[in-house]
Structure 1
């Protein structure tokens, strides 16, 4: 059971160059949802049991969409690039403490587990 569809990610895109391959977007959604289920094994049971229904499912959708957007926009996880024309220098900075790849942030996990939001 998928929480998010490719159209949800594409509709959430801000700016130009929105993805135009729904099958590829769905592949990344499927990966993100598997990662969420791995890290929060009881998430589907909690979504199913929620009364009134909806809030946890919507938070889960938001997290999956954010994970996919982050990955599609910046697959290398680069925070800063410095390019100097001469004598040719390029610097890439990767964020410290932020996981690379399709991994939920600590804040996103907190939204799903109810353990509070980190600073």
Structure 2
């Protein structure tokens, strides 16, 4: 009886681990290429923004199950582009230089939010000097 119970528990555990791995893999299906070491990471309630200057990678991730999409706007005096992670908590959207090239040796401004605020009143405002 003990060995049968052990096999059932082991099988249940293996199935749970597989389901968790598959869920985690699909939650971040829109990740940038592996191996990126982010130069900058910014957070605000419901949102996380990552920046890698080499290759101009910008990624926004939704970190809260609050019913709002996470977004980031990238500015160079005017809005260069906007990314929105709109598929719920755990999802991300990204762009790179192959899509939108950011100039070097200038300050890049980021507005980001994950709680439904408009672009004029975001929870997060940060900048970085793009020297790569």
TM-score with structure 1 setting the length: 0.30
Compare CA radii of gyration and give the structure with the larger one. Answer: 2
TM-score with structure 2 setting the length: 0.29
